[in-house]
Amino acid sequence: MSSGCGHCVFDPISIDSCDHREDFSTLQDCLGEPAQEIANWTTCNDEFNFDRSLRNRTNLVFDKGEPWETAVTQFKLICGDEWFDSLSTALGLLSLMLGAYIAGIYTDRFGRKHAIMVWNSITAVCLTIHAFMPNQYGFLAMRVLGNGFGHVSYLAQKAYSMEMLGPKRRAISGALASAYFSIGYMSSSAVAYFLPDWRGFTLAYAGIGINY
């Protein structure tokens, strides 16, 4: 199997008649001689994974039946490019670490409230730009920056709330800050239901920071 993950488009009747095949080799047999002659048939992970419209990464069409896009379909992160998603996650976590370092220095020098307003605004701008990125590399850069900048604001908010309530109520403040994060995380499912396109979802996420 090659890593190019190229597929061939056959007529709908042939596809419908062969779509129930249990493995890739029997699918090729069912499709007949044209399938046997195509050298770049692959299955992505050496498993039967047949997409009715997937042709190749340079001229890719996803037959989703939906008008919205995910980052995977928008930037064609399939068949050998799955590593890009793992990379963006890893770099996003790295940016959280760097954001925590910046938060400690910035909040001590300029104050908690100042840090909240400044870094929350920067995060909102970054996410707005993120929603309009035309390629995967811009998407990666804005995702990493948004994670880091947002973490500075988050830590400043947490420190500010604990200092305002005093030593006796710091545990409650810390717990509530995490609870708000959890509520927001769960609410993202409802937001995604109404805004399934990744660009619209990202803009909604940015809007929260602007309103804040």
- Tens of pLDDT, residue by residue over 117-153, are 999 999 999 999 999 998 889 999 999 999 999 999 9
Q: What is the pTM of this model?
A: 0.66
Contacts of 11 (CB under 8 A, 6+ apart): none
pLDDT at 159: 86
**Cβ atoms of 6 and 42 closer than 8 Å:** yes
**Cβ atoms of 102 and 92 closer than 8 Å:** no
- Tens of pLDDT, residue by residue over 79-125, are 667 788 888 889 999 999 999 999 999 999 998 889 999 999 999 99
Across the chain, what does the average pLDDT equal? 76
- Tens of pLDDT, residue by residue over 60-75, are 444 455 667 778 777 8
- Tens of pLDDT, residue by residue over 172-187, are 877 887 787 788 888 8
Please, which pLDDT band fits residue 13 given cuts at 50, 70 and 90? low
Angle, helix 136-165 to helix 112-130, in steps of 10 degrees? 160
